[in-house]
Amino acid sequence: QPKLIMSLNDPLLGNNSAMHAEKKVFYLNLTILDAKAAVKAKVLNKIQERQAKRHVKAPKFVQKRVANSLASVASAVVKPHKIAEMLGPRLEKLLPYLLREKGITVAVDMVFIEDTYVVWELQVSYDLCLC
């Protein structure tokens, strides 16, 4: 799974709301059904990173038990609507950057968020090249 190196505060991400009234748009919808696996994976990753930095390490079986217990607690506490609230604005900034890497220029605006449902409005900029 590739990691994104660019920060959300990177100036290259810029302002995404460059929508043109005369151009067509389409909508990207996301509903988060279950966030337990994502939260658990994130917690396990954080714990492994911290364990690697420690000078005195616990036995592996203890590390795994503690990590799994903490991940289970975190996944029970963090609800899908919190994930949606966090992802909405982040993806609004990340989508143009990620699509630009694929050669697609888009403007993105988050237009709706309620509970676990997020909607973004996207508008593709077509650059005609007569090469």
> pLDDT of the chain along its 131 residues, tens only?
333 333 444 444 444 446 677 778 899 999 988 888 888 888 888 888 888 888 777 787 887 888 888 888 887 888 888 889 988 999 999 999 998 898 888 899 999 999 999 999 999 886 555 55
pTM summary value: 0.65
For the CA atoms of 23, 18, 28, 33, the dihedral, rounded to the nearest 10 degrees, stands at -160
pLDDT at residue number 127 = 59
Distance CA 119, CA 92 (A): 10
